[in-house]
Homo-oligomer: A and B are copies of this chain.
Amino acid sequence: MTMNKVAIIGVGHTKFGRLQEKGLLDLLSEASLDAIEESNTKEKNFDSVYVGCMGSDAFNHISGVASALVDRINLIPAAADQIKNGPASGGSAIKAGFQAIASGMDDLVLVVGGEKMTHIRTPGLITSYVATITHHQAERQHGVSIPSLSGMLMRNYIERYNAKFEWFSDIVIKNHKNGALNQYAHFQKTIEDFMKSSIQKGRGNWENVYDFLSDEISNPIISDPIRLFNSCPISDGAAAVVLCNADIAKKYCDTPILISGIGQATDTHILYERDDLVTLKALRICSDKAYKMAKKTPKDIDVCEVHDAFTILEVIQSEDLGFFKKGEGAKAAHEGITEIDGKIPINPSGGLKARGHPLGATGIAQVVELVWQLRGEAGKRQVDGAESGITCNFGGFGNNIISILVERT
């Protein structure tokens, strides 16, 4: 049999950031209702709802978030499930919705992801909770956290490939520049903006942004060599997509975007058991699946959204998605190849760095950005003539990764 094709017919995206006045269900509802409204399905019957959310139990004391949402936004009796795959919960939720339609079980599905975290006053509690995705005996109980593992990867990469810290700064500068053009981003400021503001506040004086990003005052070390600006923020936010059987997509909208490839793969839980510290085998396998399913190669891709929770992850992912040879990703970014007008634009949205990282929302926000790019609706951050895009949504610490490939129909 051939599987049903699946199209995205509407998207929603709340502002990401420190949204004091909104709760988890407020955010999920807002993104969902925007996506439903945009897809012209308001009066239609949804078959099911998938909610990508990592920390609703720990952060929000809601253990039935999907059931609560369908009630809140009046989609009863639609089926409703929460999909949990750490920071890749959003990507996994899209895959679940995709399979519901591809199988023929469902025709119309809402997928929404979100997280509400900034009400937790001690950021260490969040870092500590997220660190429970690592291996308990081999990693977690020795004090490992996601920033510390990322620092180890960055150190290893820099030493092995003779990369410069400044090349990583170029990625930070790029992502903040892109984020400044994204009205939904957590940070809508360039690094120049941050620097000027720090100078005005009398915190120091810097010749240029590279100096600013190398200074222990303006950019303190988090997990050497990772500094503050190499790290994504803790954000609240939600994003949503409405999926339908592609055969009927044009009934709802003029510009359906096809999900033509999806892959997901796992790797060893313990980092030291991996074949290579700075190669994401799970990403190689899952993106290969997505490319094959869509009958595409990395050369066919016009725009890409990766999971830069830390700058080093953008570099490694850009390589394992097939855009650059191993060890050449950081330099390529330094050379401008991943800029919006570069050969392969990466994170035009601003990425996790600037758009922010409300865990369960991220995998869906990545796809929403690609939808805007492929529809030509990305405004000042538009990638000219983009016809296909791919994502990397990073779960665990690289041990459970999802790639989603979307195309103009």
Task: Show the binding face of A for B, using Cβ within 8 Å.
Answer: 1-4, 48, 54-55, 57-58, 61-64, 66-68, 70-72, 75-86, 92, 95-96, 98-100, 102-105, 129-130, 132-133, 135-136, 262, 264-270, 281-282, 285-286, 395-396, 399-400, 402
Contact B1 A269 (CB under 8 A): no
Residue of B whose beta carbon sits closest to that of A132: B63
Query: Taking CB as reference atom, which chain B residue is nearest A270?
Result: B71
22 pairs of residues in contact across A and B, judged by CB atoms under 8 Å: A1-B1, A1-B3, A2-B104, A3-B103, A3-B105, A61-B132, A63-B133, A66-B84, A66-B85, A67-B85, A67-B86, A67-B395, A68-B135, A70-B266, A71-B269, A79-B266, A79-B400, A79-B402, A80-B85, A81-B264, A83-B83, A102-B105
A3-B1, A61-B132, A104-B3 given; A268·B84 CB < 8 A: no
**Contact assessment for A64 and B1 in the assembled complex, using a CB-CB cutoff below 8 Å:** no
Report whether B105 and A399 are in contact in the complex, using a CB–CB cutoff of 8 Å. no
Q: For the complex, what is the distance from the CA of A396 to the CA of B66, rounded to whole Å?
A: 10
Residue pair B1, A396 in contact (C-beta under 8 Å): no
A77 vs B399: C-alpha distance in the bound complex, in angstroms? 9
Report yes or no: A132 in contact with B62, Cβ–Cβ below 8 A: yes
When C-beta atoms are compared, the residue in chain B nearest to A106 turns out to be B99
In the complex, the answer to whether A268 meets B1 with C-beta atoms within 8 Å is no
Q: Hey, which chain B residues are within 8 Å of A262, CB to CB?
A: 105
Q: How far is the CB of A357 from chain B (nearest CB, A)?
A: 15
A3 and chain B: residue at smallest CB distance: B104
A102 contacts across to B, CB distance below 8 A: 99, 103-105
Q: How far is the CA of A286 from the CA of B2 in the complex (A)?
A: 27
Cα distance, A325 to B3, chains bound together (Å): 40
Bound form: Cα–Cα A265–B92 in Å: 21
Flag if A63 contacts B268 (CB, 8 Å).
no
For the complex with contacts A67-B395, A79-B265, A82-B83, 8 further pairs of A-B residues with Cβ separation under 8 Å are A54-B63, A63-B133, A66-B400, A71-B266, A71-B268, A82-B84, A83-B83, A96-B99
Q: B86–A83 contact, CB under 8 A?
A: no
CB distance from A90 to the nearest CB of B (A): 12
**Complex-state Cα separation, A396 to B285, whole angstroms:** 37
Instruction: Tell me how far the C-beta of A248 lies from the nearest C-beta in chain B, rounded to whole angstroms.
Output: 13
Q: Is the CB of B266 within 8 A of A78?
A: yes
Give A75 Cβ to nearest chain B Cβ, in Å.
8
Closest partner residue, chain B, to A78 (CB atom)? B266
Query: A99 touches which one: B72, B105, B135 (CB < 8 A)?
Result: B105
Question: Which of A57, A62, A78: most chain B CB closer than 10 A?
Answer: A57
A48 contacts across to B, CB distance below 8 A: 264
Q: Which residues of B contact A57 (CB under 8 A)?
A: 55, 57-58, 129, 132
